Amino acid sequence: MNEDDEAELLRLLEEERLYQERNRIQSLYPDTGPLRRGLYAKHLAFFRAGAERDQNGEPFNERCVMGANRSGKTLACSYEHTCHLTGWYPMWWEGFRFNRAIVGWAAGEDSKSVRESLQAMFLGSPGSFGTGLVPHGNLIQISPRAGVPDAIDSVTIRSAFGGNSRLLFKSYDQGRESFQAAHVDVMQFDEEPPADIYSEGLTRTMSTTPGEPNGLVIAGFTPLHGLSSVVLAYMPGGQQLDGAVRG
């Protein structure tokens, strides 16, 4: 191999590395390999439930991944949320689908924890935005949050359906009032929220347009506070459902 061929090979390898880094979502839940999606039965059940209905014919508009730390709760919820924001769904997707750009909120306990968890999951680390779940090519505008170093307030995301989706990062310590007065298509809770904030977030997803379905509430948390009202909402009668999936 001469020097020109070697330089071309290095260039192509670098392009491939950048593509993989900036399109991380496409490498998750693969068909085969040690991280194949068949090993993530609970995640798949969580996704699939979004398109299913309960025994009364009602859609599962509220769903939860409830489990131990480091079990992929944030990843599962953020993966689905990103699919809705970008309008990109993998070939194997059996869950709920939007057919338009959306507004999504992603909320956690406080601004710093949101920055370290949700923001990093969607965007990547500061200085490397576009290496998280939202592909680099879909990022249009990123607006910082005042008063918290490296924290982001909102993101404008290009949707495959035309137009732009919008993702806002919220925190429980902002109080219930900050979750009022808006319609939201997807409300994501990362870690268990206080009951009043959960209720307010759920209200934000309720459609007031005839014929328009309600939005989605997707939550992922470890039940550190015991059998709270939020936990029991996903466990009717105090009995855990298979996969902790509830409509």
3-state secondary structure (DSSP) of residue 47: helix
Nearest to 122 by CA among 103, 109, 135: 135
In this predicted model, what pLDDT tens digit does every residue of 57-112 receive, in sequence order?
A: 778 899 999 888 888 999 999 999 999 999 999 999 999 999 999 999 999 999 99
**How far is it, in rounded angstroms, from Cα 175 to Cα 172?**
6
CATH of the domain at 185: 3.40.50
The answer as to whether 50 is a domain residue is: yes
The answer as to whether 185 is a domain residue is: yes
pLDDT for res 237 = 59
The answer as to whether 28 is a domain residue is: no
pLDDT for res 13 = 67
Nearest to 123 by CA among 153, 98, 93, 146: 153
pLDDT for res 11 = 66
pLDDT for res 245 = 43
DSSP string, 54-83: -TTS-B--EEEEE--TTSSHHHHHHHHHHH
The answer as to whether 131 is a domain residue is: yes
pLDDT for res 59 = 84
pLDDT for res 65 = 93
3-state SS, one letter per residue, for 181-232? CCCCCEEEEECCCCHHHHHHHHHHCCCCCCCCCCCEEEEEECCCCCCCHHHH
Number of domains composing the chain: 1
Q: Which residues of the chain have pLDDT under 50?
A: 243-247
pLDDT for res 61 = 92
pLDDT for res 68 = 84
Residue 131 belongs to domain spanning: 41-244
The answer as to whether 22 is a domain residue is: no
The answer as to whether 5 is a domain residue is: no
- What's the whole-model pTM score? 0.89
The answer as to whether 112 is a domain residue is: yes
pLDDT for res 125 = 92
pLDDT for res 54 = 78
CB 105 within 8 A of CB 187: yes
